[in-house]
Structure 1
Amino acid sequence: MSRGHNFSAGPAALPEAVLRQAQAEFLEWDGSGASIMEVSHRGKDFIGVAEAAEADLRELLAIPANYKVLFLQGGATQQFAQIPMNIARRDQRADYVVTGDWSEKAVREGATLARIHVSASSQSTNYTSIPARDGWDLDPNAAYVHYTPNETIRGVEFHDIPDVGDVPLVADMSSTILSRPLDVSRFGLIYAGAQKNIGPSGLVVVIIREDLLARCPKDIPRIFSFAEHAANSSMLNTPNTFGWYLAGLIFKWLKAQGGLAAMEVRNRTKAQTLYDYIDGSGFYRNPVEVSVRSWMNIPFTLPTTELDAPFLRESQQAGLLALKGHKLVGGMRASLYNAVNQDSVDALVCFMKDFARRYG
C-alpha cells in the first residue's frame, strides 16, 4: 500500500496512526466481540468512549465548565439554519461578517429564520482581505455576531478574535479548530464540521455557552434544539458512533503530539514553507492579502490557466493528491490540516520547483 500526500480540503487527511488503530479495532473493539459500529450507543462501553472524547476535547481547548459540548450529526451547513433557529427570534437582528463563500452561505440560510444584517463584507476585494474592525456596523442588541475565522475556499483567515462587546460571538471554525490554542471564553457558540481537523464527515461539534441554551424555543422540533441535545448528552437520537469514536482517537493523538501549542508551531511552519516558496518563485501567485493568509488552506495560481491541467496530472502522478482549486475560483489549493506532515509540504514545494523549471 502506498499512501499519497493528501492536500484535500475536506473530507481531509487523517493521521495515519489513527487510521491504523481504527483498522486494527475495526472487526472487534476492546474485546467486546463486535465492531465499535455494532455496539449500542446507550451501552456503558460506548458511553465511556463518548465521555473520554468530550473530556479530551475539553482539555485540548481548555473549555470552561459553563459550556456544553455537543457531538451532533450533519455538518456546518445545517448549523447555518440551526443557530438562528435556537438563539435568535424571527424578528431579531443578527449581525454577520462576510469574508468568503461560506459566510455568504451562512447569511442566505440564516435569513430564512432571523433578521440577518451584513455588518461588514470584503466582497469588493473578491474576498482576499478582511474588513477593518472599526468599520463593522454592529448592533449592541443583536442576537449574536457571526463570522467565519477561516474561509476554506479562498484562503482568508482571522488571526485574532474580534471584540464585539457583550453580544455573543458565533464562529464557524470547521477548518481552523484544533490547529492552535483558542480562548473559548471569548465565544458564545463555536461550531465545526468534523472533516478537517476532527474526524470523518457526518459529525459536527457544537460548543455553546450554557446561558444561550435558555434561548432555545420550546416550539421547534426537539431534534433541532441545542437545549434538548445538551440535556440528553448528545444522544437524543442515535449519534454518529463511528465518527465520535474516531474523533476521540484524534483527540488522543493530538495530546500525544504535544497538544495545540505544538500543533500551532507545526502549522505555522508548514504554511510559511509554502508561502515563502510561492512568493519567491516568480511563477506561482497567492492572491490573498499577506496579513490575513490562512495557515490551513493555501490557494495559488499558475502563470496561465493552460498550465493547470498538466500541473494537476503530473502532481497526481507524483503522489500529490487533491490540489485542484475550488470550482468557484479555479487554480490550485493545498489544505494543510493537522494530519498533513511537513514532509508532505516539502514534497509539494519540490514538485512545484521542478514544474516551474520545466514550464517557466
Structure 2
Amino acid sequence: MDSEANLPPPHPQASVTIEDIHAASAWVQPLRSEIARVLVGQTELVDRLLIALLTNGHVLLEGVPGLAKTLTVRTLANCLHARFQRIQFTPDLLPADVVGTMVFNPREGTFSPRLGPVFANLVLADEINRAPAKVQSALLEAMQERQVTIGVDTYTLPNPFVVLATQNPIDQEGTYTLPEAQLDRFLLKVRVDYPTPEEERLVLDRMATSRPNLEVEPVIAIQQIANSRSLVNDIHMDDKVKDYIVSIIHASRHPEGVTAHLRNLIRCGASPRGTINLALASKANAFLQSRDYVTPNDVKALAPDILRHRILLSYEAEAEGVTTDDIVRQLLDKLPVP
C-alpha cells in the first residue's frame, strides 16, 4: 500500500501554500549544487544538516576519520556566509576554552569577558567524546538555551546557532561516553558511511592533489534560513501522521505492544523531546522536497536519525549484537502506516 497515495491532501485552511513553499525553498537546490562542487556524495548528510538549520537543532555525526565530516560542515558554513568555529575536544580542554571566561585588566583593575569560540553560527565540536564531562556540560546551556553564562552575566548566542559534533565509533581509548542528557539535546545522530566505489573514484580525481580546490561561493544569506523556519513551522501535518509519530515513540518505550521479543532488548525508550523533534524534522524534510504537507514517508525516513541516540539498549541486546537501528527498523516494520 502506498502511504503517500492514501494520505489526504493538505487542509484547505493551512496557513502556508505550496506557492509559498516553492518560493521559500528556491535556495535549497543552488545550495546543494554549490556544496557538490567540493563534496562528493554524502547527499543525505547534507540534507540532515539543512534540516538542523531549518529546525534550530543540533547534529551528532558518527563516522571513522577521513569521511569529510569537517569538510562538509566548513563548506556549508562558507556557502551560507556564516561564522564557523572548530573546537578540537581533547582530555585537557577546559570549559573556559569553549564558552569563554573573565579576563583581568591590570591597568584598569577590572574584569572583562572574553567570549569563547562557541559564539558562532556553526560550531564544530570535533571528537566531542574525547573531552571529560565537565567540558561537555559546558555546552548544555548553549545547546538548550542558546545562551552562555560567564561570571554573573548571560550572553545570547548568534542566530542561527547549530552545534555539529563528531565522534569516532571505533576508537574508544581515551574517550568519555556522552551522558544521556546531552545526547537527548541533539536533534539527529547521523552515521556517516564510506563512499561508493564510483564516488571514491571522483574523490580521487578531485582531491588527489597537494592543492585541491575547496573554494565555494556564498549562495544564501543567514536571514533566508530564519525566514524559511517560519514557513517550516506552518507546514501541514495531518492528525493521522501525528498519531503515527506518537505510536513510534510510545512503541520505543513499550515494545511488547508491538513485538514481544523486543521487550528485553530496550532499557529505556525515547523521551517526549523525541516526539517533538521527529515532527519538526519531518516538516523540514517536506520543505526540502518543496511540499506543504508531511507524509508518513517523511517520518519513516527521519525516525532512525531521531531515535538511534535516544533508545537505550539493555545488556541482553548488547550481548546479542543488536543495535538501535535494528530496533527502530523492527518497530517501523510492525507499526501500521496511515
State whether TM-score is above 0.5: no
TM-score, normalising length: structure 2: 0.31
Could you say which structure has the higher helix fraction?
2
TM-score, normalising length: structure 1: 0.30
